Structure 1
Amino acid sequence: MSAGPGVAETIMIALATALVTTVGTGWLVMPRLEARKRRIMDAHQARDRFLATMLRILSASGRLQKFEAPNPDDAAWTPVMRERVEAERARWVKQLDEATEWMVDNVETYAVSWPTDFLRGLIGTYVPYARAVMISEREDDRKAELLEWLTTPVWEVFGSRGWQRSPRRLARAQRQLGARIAEIEAEADRQNAAAVAA
């Protein structure tokens, strides 16, 4: 009559099984899980930066519109204050330039992470137009106005909580963005026609 494996053999088999499982998990499974975790974290950080960049565009645009360039003929402005305000305005314009540049250069890191084609399409429409406005030959005040105008409907979608993104709100944002882009294109066409005629 065979007594089967003894206690020592059972312990050795359990230890060997635990060792193989631990080593196999550490070598095969954990690196994949860590890589996946890093990709997910990178996507969420890119989304957060996109939202922060849109907020910076709205803020810098608002400041530029609120603090107009000093009139050179206005005696109330001292040369020092005129210089300081102009330096601040130049800094805000630079913020707009850097924000739109980052959005265009990194669109593939955050746009593809949104769950629907509609949201990805909204980003894909907004980002190149925002950059086009910034690199255009328009005056800084007009650029700020147009950037704020373009960004507002997109911010209302992406800056809101998920439960606030009703189909009605999404459709309204898409219509507003489309209408604003059409108006910007019409303005550019008028400027080009005027430049050709001159």
Structure 2
Amino acid sequence: MPDTLWTLLVAAVTAVVTTLVVGLFVTPRMEARKKRLGEVHAARDAFGANLLRIISACSLLQQFELPAADDPDWTPVMRERLRSERNRWWQQLDEATVWLLDNAATYAGSWPNARIIRFAIEYAGHARAVVLSERQETTKVELLLALTVPVQRQFFGWPWSRARHVVADHRAFDETIALISGEPSTP
């Protein structure tokens, strides 16, 4: 009987100590890690959403040009509505590029490869620079699309699409950056 009592007492003390150690040391670390990983994944999702927003807004800006002032098919009211929509799309581009630049450390640093981290950070900086530049709107839209499409495919495309286009996407991205910077592109 004393051996059974002793075994039960040791088992109970072991269970209490284990529960306390896990509750005091392991659980808080796991909860903090869970929170950090959740923030990283939320930032990655927002990164992807902003890339799609840029592609969408640029496509809309290309598709809906302002009509000529003397075009009889457009009333002044419709011209103003289209101008307001185009301004809203430019505002979306502005907000998206601000977010990308401000949060680059959060989403870019979450990938394990230095090359892909640099790819994301360079994209954010150059996309913001294009939006802030004094280039013509059509040129800005073309440059933003040329920057964004390869980045979106490399970060969020299907794995076989990423692998198939990795060299072409990086080359197109580098050529666009050279064009933005005014440097001659190397063949």
- Aligned residues, how many? 183
1:156 aligns with 2:153: yes
The 1-side partners of 2:167 and 2:73 are apart by 48
Map of 1:131-170 to 2, 5 A cutoff? 131-166=128-163, 169-170=165-166
Residue in 1 that maps onto 2:124: 127
Aligned to 1:196: none
Runs of 5+ unmatched residues, structure 1? 188-198
Q: Deviations over 1:6-36 (max 9, x none)?
A: 4333222211211111111011100001111
- Native 8 Å contact 1:93 1:140 kept in 2: no
Q: Which residue of 2 aligns with 1:175?
A: 171
By how many angstroms is 1:87 displaced?
A: 0.7
Task: Provide the C-alpha distance between the structure 1 equivalents of 2:167 and 2:114, rounded to a whole number of angstroms.
Answer: 13
Instruction: Give, as a single letter, the amino acid of the residue that structure 2 aligns with 1:152.
Output: V
TM value normalised by structure 2 = 0.90
Distance 1:81 1:148, change over 3 A: same
Taking only the aligned residue pairs, the percentage that are identical comes to 48
Equivalent residue number for residue 85 of structure 1: 82
1:100/1:127 contact within 8 Å kept? yes
2:182 alignment partner, SS class: helix
Match of 1:186 among 177, 182, 186: 182
Alignment partners' CA distance in 2, 1:76 and 1:171: 46
SS of corresponding position for 1:42: helix
Output the TM-score relative to the length of structure 1: 0.86
Q: Considering only CA atoms, is the larger Rg found in Structure 1 or Structure 2?
A: 1
